[in-house]
A = this chain, B = another copy of it.
Amino acid sequence: MASAMGSLHLDLKDCGNCPIRHRAVCSRCEPDELEVLEDIKYYRSYEAGQPILWSGDHMEFVASIVTGISTLSQTMEDGRTQMVGLLLPSDFIGRPGRETAAFDVVAVTDVTLCCFRRRPFEDLMLKTPHIGQRLLEMTLDELDSAREWMTVLGRKTAREKIASLLMIVARRDASLRKQLPGDGMVFDLPLTREAMSDYLGLTLETVSRQISALRKSGVIQLEGKRRVIVPDLEELIAETGDDVDGGMII
């Protein structure tokens, strides 16, 4: 971990080499604006499974995810939990103008954050419209995603929910490889069955059963618990209940 951080520091101290340079909240900044950001930024890292923030925590920083995956989730008094966001590299954590975290943030994989102390960042936003513009764009995208997701939660069957999640992961995986999703594609599920159930508003048993059912129907094949093969993409899309390739931002 320490050595990983060491190399990250070396690679990333310069924003020009940053892997999320073109997508994160800083993506519209000019070189002089980046310099100001570079002065106040610092990195933090978390191991898989560690909490990053608890709901109600005082937030001293806002941050961009540089590498890894985190979840944003809410827990009811009696322990029921619902995931409300899946945070990927370049996604933003925290909210300018808010003192405390509204949701729990947990690292699913090892995670590296590029952090900015909140106050200086808020000041900078007022002086640097490019940051606010990009953050608005990102927030609007997240709102669209959240709304699509509400339809999944409110109206889809368990089988459709699983198929929808598989398509989301498949699309994301394809875009990381700079390919289009297609027949025969292979990808890994970044989430445990329990995390999938939190995402989809199901129990982990139902998730397991529906994945088995999709396998038995031939819609997907499994290699181990996590690796998924999609022989016929159209067939999987049909299982989502969406009209052909419509919907499902993220």
Contact = CB atoms under 8 A, between A and B. Distances in A.
A76 B149 contact: no
Contacts of A102: 144, 147
Contact of A135 (B77, B136, B153): B136
Given A151-B84, A154-B82, A140 B243 contact: no
Contacts of A242: 76-77
A119 interface: no
A196 interface: no
Contact of A241 (B78, B95, B135, B155): B78
A201 interface: yes
Contacts of A77: 241-243
Contacts of A154: 82, 153, 200-201
Contact of A148 (B72, B74, B129, B147): B74
Nearest to A141: B95
A150 interface: yes
Interface of A: 72, 74, 76-78, 80-82, 84-85, 95, 97, 102-103, 126, 129, 132-133, 135-137, 139-140, 142-144, 146-151, 153-155, 200-201, 241-243, 247
Closest 10 CB pairs of A and B: A154-B201, A84-B147, A153-B153, A146-B146, A82-B151, A82-B154, A80-B155, A153-B154, A136-B136, A77-B243
15 contacts: A74-B147, A74-B148, A74-B150, A74-B151, A76-B155, A77-B241, A84-B150, A85-B147, A102-B144, A103-B147, A126-B129, A139-B139, A143-B146, A153-B201, A154-B201
